[in-house]
Chains A and B, each alone.
Chain A
Amino acid sequence: TMARVLVGVKRVIDYAVKIRVKPDKSGVVTEGVKHSMNPFDEIAVEEAIRLKEKKFATEVIAVTCGPTQSQETLRTALAMGADRGIHVEIPADDYVKTGPLQISKIFAKLAEQEKANLIILGKQAIDGDNNQTAQMTAAVLDWAQGTFASELKLEGEKLTVVREVDGGLETIDLKMPAVVSADLRLNEPRYATLPNIMKAKKKKVAKLTAKDLGVDLASSIEILEVADPPQRLAGIKVENTEELVGKLKEAGLV
């Protein structure tokens, strides 16, 4: 069978930007700050497009959840080669409270609606660092999951995923339909070429709300505070192991 692929893309603060915490500690400064597609999502999009180019997939649908600006990220996915886009619009105030649980429910509903049989997501977003959405989406749908994928092979109903785990590489076979989360070494994403940027203008982008999908965005998690990590203090040099042990004992660490 051919896959119909749903790819999730998230608009995050660009990886090279220096993050600043807001003075009221409610979050980080996003106003006027450069945003781009989550790097792992770029890898997910690239993999989906490659599947289509190799004729293992019929269609690549890019999905994003968030306020109006999220559409930029969708456009990038289309410019990379996704066939069409879906923007699930979540107003900014609700979006700050939205997390993997709500997003996974949205992806699950969309997968059913669009009759997708493969969902490829980035393993985690570089802002939340949750690494939960792919796993939760698979659970909601009761689909197979292959996370931290560094290699993907589709043969009929069988999806072979090589996973990067602490001990090394694990190869598993999944029966479609499945959810995959992309890790760093899965591929190197292509640039959005200028002709493709032009073609993307004609591609369809559908707009929905969570309500349209029957998903409740209510969250049981509340962010209390966002703070800078403690300043890293300078270390001291010791002459020998005896002195090292002495210092550790002084600090009550041994």
Chain B
Amino acid sequence: MALRVNFVARQFLNMETAFKKSTNLHLKLQVRMSSILTDNSSLPDTHQMLRQTCADFAEKELAPLAWTTDKKHLYPTEQVRKMGDLGLMAIDQKEEYGGAGLDSLAYAVAMEEISRGCATAGVIMSAHNSLYLGPIKYWGSEEQLQKYVLPFSTGEKVGCFALSEPGNGSDAGAASTTAREDGDCWVLNGTKSWITNSYEASAAVVFATTDKSKKHKGISAFIVPMPTEGLSLGKKEDKLGIRGSSTANLIFDDCKIPKENLVGESGFGFKIAMSTLDAGRIGIASQALGIAQASLDCAIAYADDRKAFGAPISKLQSIQFKLSDMALKIESARLLTWRAAQLKDAGINFTKEAAMAKLAASETATFASHQAIQILGGMGFVSDMPAERHYRDARITEIYEGTSEIQRLVIAGRLLAEYRK
């Protein structure tokens, strides 16, 4: 009954009032955010400091706007620019290309704190760093680094990554977008789908088949400046979560790009995509951790505040068990994520660990946000509290950059190979 009255009342609240209400309530709980960081001592000094900077930034600049970003599907332009000022939009790029010159562990730590403030800001940062800058960093030429990394390091310009197509997501080797040579340029034809940052991007890393006979070894990677003739964008998807980030199709219709825009060598595309996704998984795992942690923060603050049966509900065992389970899963996934990052930084193969981290963290985000709603009860179901947004934001982490099913295949593949050695 009370919930129904709540629903009716909602209709009479205009958006602004609801926003103010939600920020006040949320800010009251949020103020403890950056003072409550889980134990830092295993991180190097620089990483402890950058974690604090990112937590402060997320608390002050991202969290207060997260509600509006979600409700109005707003791309957080100003916030992305500020993230650029902090060095977050080229975090592991070399300094000479505008980057902060940090490592994967720093990226993981920063991603988690940013996503804890706003999952949309997190995905924009992750897609840009891992999926757009990543391939060019590892496989691009000097000219490509100067032209497509350096100007993209300040937060003013972002890039996107185009691998998935309407006909294939998990089945990346079946890319049907084609690239044929025509004089001094490549001509691209086909459609890419689910492209994050599509509407704001100034360039895209696009995977297209250059030699169909070679199957997945006939795919190549290209940099496509945006906008460009022959490239149009589909409609923005109306998503369940991370709504401030634009997701749309990239439609190539005899789109011409210069010859020198090939990344790496012809036929390397699949390899580039797979290794890029390995690193990207650390980013998405961290985003999921941020969402999960934000859910836990919200749940604890509420449980300590909400009284039922004469005491705060945090005194009840059933609530305590939920909080413990959430914290356990978060801590486990976080350690896995940091381990994957540390392996990558040490130059050791990290494919299995990255897949494990992404799988664990994304399922943890879904679990934690689900439990957070349960702990908040009716309040978890309405937008006054961020729990419902975390629930919606969490869901995509089990899908993009490799579905949970694909992660399990990747893990099994590495596992069996290790045993058979």
Contact = CB atoms under 8 A, between A and B. Distances in A.
A198 interface: yes
Contact of A75 (B49, B56, B102): B49
Contact of A36 (B31, B52, B91): B52
Contacts of B106: 194
A198 B53 contact: no
Q: Is the interface of B mostly helix, strand, loop or mixed?
A: helix
Contacts of B53: 79, 191-194, 197
Given A34-B36, A191-B86, A192-B49, A198 B100 contact: yes
Contact of A194 (B35, B36, B37, B88): B88
B27 to A, nearest CB: 12
Nearest to A15: B35
Which of A72, A75, A198 is most buried by chain B, counting CB atoms within 10 A of its CB? A198
Contacts of A17: 35
A195 B100 contact: yes
Which of B53, B88, B91, B100 is most buried by chain A, counting CB atoms within 10 A of its CB? B53
Interface in A64-90: 72, 75-76, 79
B35 A34 contact: yes
Interface string A10-25: 0000101100000000
Contacts of B86: 191, 193-194
A14 B101 contact: no
Contact of A201 (B31, B46, B57): B46
B35 A76 contact: no
Contacts of A198: 46, 100-102
Contacts of A191: 53, 56-57, 85-86
Contacts of B85: 191, 193
A14 B35 contact: yes
Contacts, number: 54
A14 B36 CA distance: 10
Interface in A82-104: none
A34 B110 contact: no
A176 B187 CA distance: 68
Contacts of A194: 50, 53, 86-88, 91, 100, 102, 106, 110
Interface residues of B, number: 25
B32 to A, nearest CB: 6
Contacts of A195: 87, 95, 100-101
Contact of B35 (A16, A72, A193, A197): A16
Size class of the A contact interface (CB-based, 8 Å): 10 to 19
A198 B44 CA distance: 12
A14 B37 CA distance: 12
Given A34-B37, A194-B86, A197-B50, A16 B95 contact: no
A81 to B, nearest CB: 13
B171 interface: no
B34 interface: yes
B45 interface: yes
A17 B31 CA distance: 10
Contacts of B49: 75-76, 79, 192, 197
Contacts of B35: 14, 16-17, 34
A194 B90 CA distance: 10
Contacts of B56: 191
Contact of B32 (A16, A197, A201): A16
A28 B32 CA distance: 19
Nearest to A76: B49
A114 to B, nearest CB: 25
Interface in B301-355: none
Interface string B69-91: 00000000000000001111001
Interface in A154-196: 191-196
Nearest to B87: A194
A197 B46 contact: yes
B100 A75 contact: no
A151 B342 CA distance: 46
A197 B52 CA distance: 11
A143 B378 CA distance: 62
A79 B95 CA distance: 16
A16 B50 contact: no
A196 B49 CA distance: 11
Contacts of B87: 193-196
19 contacts: A16-B31, A16-B32, A34-B35, A76-B49, A79-B49, A191-B53, A192-B49, A192-B50, A192-B53, A193-B53, A193-B87, A193-B100, A194-B50, A194-B88, A195-B95, A195-B100, A197-B50, A198-B46, A198-B102
Nearest first, the 6 closest Cβ-Cβ pairs linking A and B are: A194-B87, A194-B100, A16-B35, A195-B87, A14-B35, A195-B100
Given A79-B49, A195-B101, 5 more contacts: A191-B53, A191-B57, A194-B86, A194-B91, A195-B100
